[in-house]
Structure 1
Amino acid sequence: MIHLCITKFFIVVQALISYAYCDGIWREDLSNRINIGAPTDGYHRVQLNCNDNSISVAVVTENDFDGVIYTRGSFYGRSEKCFQEGRFGQTDYYFDFEFDECNVKKKDKNTYTVTLVIQNDKELIMPGDSAFKLVCDFRSREKTLEAGLQVTEKRVRAVISLADADPGGKDLPKHLQHSVTSRNRTAVFTREDIKPKLQRRDEL
């Protein structure tokens, strides 16, 4: 009887250890191993225009896109200005919203940022989805002329950077960070702008 009880005790302990180990792997997989990252599928190009009072975005997708495109934070509200559903065969999508709409963030007095998400499923964020951080920088800069005079030059800087589509995701690792910058109000990001980078040891 004693031997039987000891055997059952060890079986229970082993089962608890196995459960804890599997549960740990499960939690680790969800939190650390699943990384949506920065894919190159689903879109051809993203164009950002920094207007004086608004932000315009033009997206060209692949022919079979059947998901949704929206600014981060606008998924549930589904405002027409901030959210669009994909239609089979349609490749061109256009957004135009003011600086106080569609969850645009004011970084400082003259800089505005917003994240655009291209989600291939209409309801769920999945690996393969894309996101772009859009920045419009209206800060004036001092420019020195040949005569030695300084003038204030207002050139609007437009920046498009890859971002993590997962709203709870961390900043992308350095080797996945790619961006395009323009100083004439308009920036265009294409898949060809993604250049291979070496992954640092501390990111492995």
Structure 2
Amino acid sequence: MFGEVDAWRIKTVLVGLLALAASAAGWKEDLTNYVRIGVRDAGYSKVVLDCEDENMAFVIRMEKDFEGVVYTRGSFHSRQGPCFLDAEGGTEFVLKFSYKDCSTKYDDKLGAYVNTVVVQHDDDLIFPGDLAFDLRCHDQVTVNASLGVKSKISLVDPDPASKQPSKDEEISATSSSSVVTLMPGKLTPPKEEL
């Protein structure tokens, strides 16, 4: 597609445009007034979360060849597996990590292990068109108390500083099994997965 020099030029132009916007704002205003990343329900054909006994497995199938990065929020700068994957082409990518790794937290209120995975087309910067998914794996005790929801995937804004959508605007999929699938435009998993 693009060579390294072309990609570098595009990054340089985009960074320059961001700098101009910041300069026009007098460096006193947040750049989110000029650049909005936003939640996007496109660019992927399928996302699967498998809540195993000791691990969380995230699988994404992209619509087109992908050469960006896939990582759990908080692991971008370390760039270390299993929390970070530098894709060098292809359409399907997997992150599999323990509930004790990759900034995974146990949320007592939800009774679930939670994490966020970011799918970023550029190796260094988040741009519109990038994706992020909140992952939720409920423990066995909570499943009995929360109407059988065992796993959940929600689309969120990849920009960690942005306001996340309300529950009414949320694009998500839930399952009573340990495996849940989210597809673009699908708000619930297919019936065979329930």
Which band: TM-score by shorter chain? 0.7 to 0.9
Matches within 5 A, 1:1-204: 23=25, 27=29, 30-32=31-33, 34-88=35-89, 90-108=90-108, 110-140=111-141, 157-173=150-166, 176-193=169-186
Task: Give 1:37 deviation, angstroms.
Answer: 1.2
> Number of paired residues?
164
Deviation at 1:127, TM superposition (A): 0.9
CA contact (8 A) 1:73 1:103 kept: yes
The one-letter code matched in structure 2 to 1:54 is N
8 Å CA contact 1:42–1:120 kept in 2: the answer is: no
Alpha-carbon contact 1:67-1:120 (below 8 Å) kept: yes
Does the CA-based 8 Å contact 2:41-2:185 persist in structure 1? no
Question: Which residue identity is paired with 1:57?
Answer: F
User: How far off its partner does 1:142 sit?
Assistant: 9.1
SS at match of 1:191: coil
Mean alpha-carbon deviation: is it higher for 182-191 or for 164-173?
A: 164-173
Task: Tell me how far apart the structure 2 counterparts of residues 154 and 172 of structure 1 sit (CA, whole Å).
Answer: 23
Contact map agreement 1:68 1:85 (CA 8 A) in 2: yes
> How many Å separate the matches in 1 of 2:94 and 2:74?
18
Structure 2 gaps of 5+ residues are: 1-23, 189-194
Q: Say whether the 8 Å CA contact 1:42–1:61 is kept in structure 2.
A: yes
User: Distance in 2 between the 1:156 and 1:24 partners?
Assistant: 48
Q: Contact 1:117–1:130 (CA<8 Å) still a contact in 2?
A: yes
Using the TM superposition, give the Cα deviation of residue 57 of structure 1 relative to its aligned residue in structure 2, in angstroms.
1.1
Aligned equivalents of 1:153, 1:175: Cα separation in 2: 19
Q: TM-score, normalised by structure 1?
A: 0.70
Kindly indicate whether the alpha-carbon contact (under 8 Å) linking 1:48 and 1:56 is maintained by their aligned counterparts in 2. Answer: yes
* Cα distance, 1:139–1:121 mapped onto 2, change above 3 Å: same
TM-fit CA distance, 1:62: 2.6
What's the offset of the Cα at 1:113? 0.2
Q: Percent identity?
A: 35
Q: Report Cα offsets for 1:56-107 as digits up to 9, x if no partner.
A: 111111332111111101111111201111222x111112111110110110
Q: Deviations over 1:173-195 (max 9, x none)?
A: 55642110001111001113159
Partner letter of residue 167 of structure 1? P
Give the deviation of 1:33 after TM superposition: 5.0
Alignment CA distance shift 1:61-1:35 (3 Å):
same
The one-character-per-residue Cα deviations of 1:145-203 (angstroms, maximum 9, x if unpaired) are: xxxxxxx99966100001110022221255642110001111001113159xxxxxxxx
Q: Give the root-mean-square deviation of aligned CA atoms.
A: 2.9
Q: Distance in 2 between matches of 1:161 and 1:194?
A: 9
Provide runs of 4+ in structure 1 moved above 4 Å.
Answer: 152-156, 173-176
Contact conserved, 2:152 with 2:175, CA < 8 A, in 1?
A: yes
Give the secondary structure class of the aligned counterpart of 1:94: strand
Flag structure 1 segments of 5+ consecutive residues without an equivalent: 1-21, 144-151, 196-204
**CA distance in structure 2 between the partners assigned to 1:67 and 1:176 by the alignment:** 27
For residues 27-79 of structure 1, what are the alpha-carbon distances to aligned partners after superposition, in whole Å with 9 as ceiling and x for unaligned? 26x23453211113332111001111111111111332111111101111111
For the Cα contact (< 8 Å) 1:115–1:132, is it kept in 2? yes
Q: TM-score, normalised by structure 2?
A: 0.74
